[in-house]
Amino acid sequence: MNTREYDALALFSGGLDSLLAVKVLQEQGLRVLGLHYVSPFFGKQSLIPHWLEIYGVEVVEIDVREAFIEMLKRPAHGYGKHLNPCVDCKILMLRHARGLLPRYGAKVLVSGEVLGQRPMSQRADALNLIRRDAGVQSVLLRPLSAQKLPPSPAEEAGLVDRTRLPGIWGRGRKDQLELAAHFGITEIPTPAGGCRLAEAEPAARYLPVLTRLARPAPHDFTLTHLARQYWAGPYWLSIGRNERNNLDLEAAARPGDILLRLKDHTGPLALARQYEPAAPDSESRPADWPAHVLADAAAFAMSYSPRARAEAEAGRRVAVLVIRDGETAEISVTPARSTPLAWAEPRPAAVSIWKKRKS
């Protein structure tokens, strides 16, 4: 159990705004602990030692993978441009952080949000909604925009000197950079961002995982980061781009998954992910890949091997090892980029279409 106490807990993404929010309070003599939230879609936990060494900010990792995925399925306040549930994300983190206050003896929650910086989650009305729905009205302080917001309870109680807090607002970074110079920060972190849900290509890869799997887990979303992603109806295939990808896919294999690799040539490793479908009556159960689907997947995956393609062009088939739960079988296929099942990569346009159907 933690025995060290702090005055404040701060949501710490590792971006400049969260860093400055901590430094502003440290300058007033407050002991601040950074909470670095991690999900399959964001998190830079490997930098925690670096943040302490370079910036003098103590940070602990907070894992919200499972809770975040549950929220992502049906965010109460909707998605942003892609699959980013920015308002609900901030509510989830603040609500969780509120529960950590007693553990650390802290009285204040700190967020580096800047009024007007982001169109979905940092408008004045959104900031008020987040504070209300997270239940943190009595403990939340947004120090970077303090002079543009009503006084917080921490300021009114004298725990924080409001006159020494900035009043930053808007989308520019000029004020933040000036404040960084004031604190002697020479290594400027990039804007926090970093959420893959707010990017078109990753969001497209996440969508079939979110909608097709009955119980999508963190490792399912992580798999989409490791290699090429293809779907043919309910069947999900990941194909390595290089040796590093192949090793990552091999390590990512779970019980029931199927690995495909060339027997006699170098080439990609492919992983067929087995899962329980969200609507088992609507399509074939992906865990029961029939022989023709495995053969089609192997032919498509091995088309990414130049040696295998050369064999196909010469009219020869190639041997592919099929590995599942420690057992290995062998099939013979003709590598081809175009196959009967027509494997396709997820497309960003599908996200917009899906959201329109839901609304």
Do 313 and 319 form a contact (C-beta atoms < 8 A)?
no
291-329 burial string, b = 16+ CB within 10 Å, else e? eebbbbbbbbbbbbbeebbebbeeeeebbbbbbbeeeee
- What's the pLDDT band for 193 if we cut at 50, 70, 90? low
**Model pTM score:** 0.91
Tell me how far apart the alpha carbons of residues 313 and 315 are, in angstroms, rounded to a whole number. Answer: 5
pLDDT of residue 121: 67
What was the pLDDT predicted at 286? 60
Q: What is the pLDDT of residue 281?
A: 54
Q: Is pLDDT larger for residue 170 or for residue 306?
A: 306
Go through the chain and tell me how many residues it has.
359
3-state secondary structure 67-107: HHHHHHHCCCCCCCCCCCCHHHHHHHHHHHHHHHHHHHCCC
- Give rounded-to-5 percent helix, strand, coil for the chain: 40, 15, 45
Name the band, by pLDDT with cuts 50, 70 and 90, for residue 282.
low
Q: Is it the case that residue 300 has pLDDT exceeding 60?
A: yes
pLDDT (mean) for 15-20: 95
pLDDT of residue 346: 97
- Per the structure block, which two tokens stand in for 236? 């999900």
Supply 102's token pair: 């007693």
Residue 251 CB coordination number (10 Å): 8
pLDDT of res. 107: 96
pLDDT at residue 339 in the model:
97
Q: Residue 287 pLDDT more than 70?
A: no
Q: At what angle do helices 86-104 and 124-133 cross, to 10 degrees?
A: 50
* pLDDT of 125: 86
pLDDT at 278: 87
Q: Which residues is 229 bridged to in the sheet?
A: 238
CA distance 51 to 12: 10
Unique residue bearing structure tokens 């009556």? 281
Per-residue pLDDT tens over the stretch 117-140: 776 667 888 899 999 999 999 999
Check pLDDT > 50 for residue 80. yes
Q: What is the residue-averaged pLDDT of the chain?
A: 93
The mean pLDDT value for 183-195 works out to 81
Question: In whole angstroms, what is the distance from residue 229 CA to residue 227 CA?
Answer: 6
Tell me the average pLDDT across 173-201.
Answer: 88
Beta-carbon contacts of residue 104 (< 8 Å; ≥ 6 apart) = 2, 4, 5, 6, 9, 33
pLDDT for residue 280 is more than 70: no
Is the sign of the CA dihedral 329, 334, 340, 343 positive or negative? positive
pLDDT at 338: 96
pLDDT per residue over 209-244, tens digit each?
A: 999 999 999 999 999 999 999 999 999 999 999 999
Quote the pLDDT of residue 191.
Answer: 61
CB half-sphere exposure, 187, CA atoms < 13 A:
8
CB-CB contact of 46 with 70 (8 Å): no
Q: Which two tokens stand for residue 335?
A: 């590598």
CB atoms within 10 A of CB 126: 19
For 116, phi and psi rounded to 5 degrees? 80, 5
Q: Which amino acid is at 29?
A: G
Tokens 């992906």 map to which residue?
Answer: 286
Mean pLDDT over 288-305 rounds to: 95
DSSP state, 149?
Answer: S
Compute the distance between CA of residue 30 and CA of residue 144 in angstroms, rounded to an integer: 16
* Amino acid, single-letter form, for residue 150: P
319: helix, strand or coil: strand
With beta carbons less than 8 A apart as the criterion, state whether 308 and 265 touch. yes
Determine the average pLDDT of the residues in 175-191.
Answer: 90
Is residue 303 pLDDT above 80, yes or no? yes
Mean pLDDT of 74-99: 96
Query: Does 1 have pLDDT greater than 50?
Result: no
Bridge partners of 324, per DSSP, are 258, 327
The residue-averaged pLDDT of 285-310 equals 91
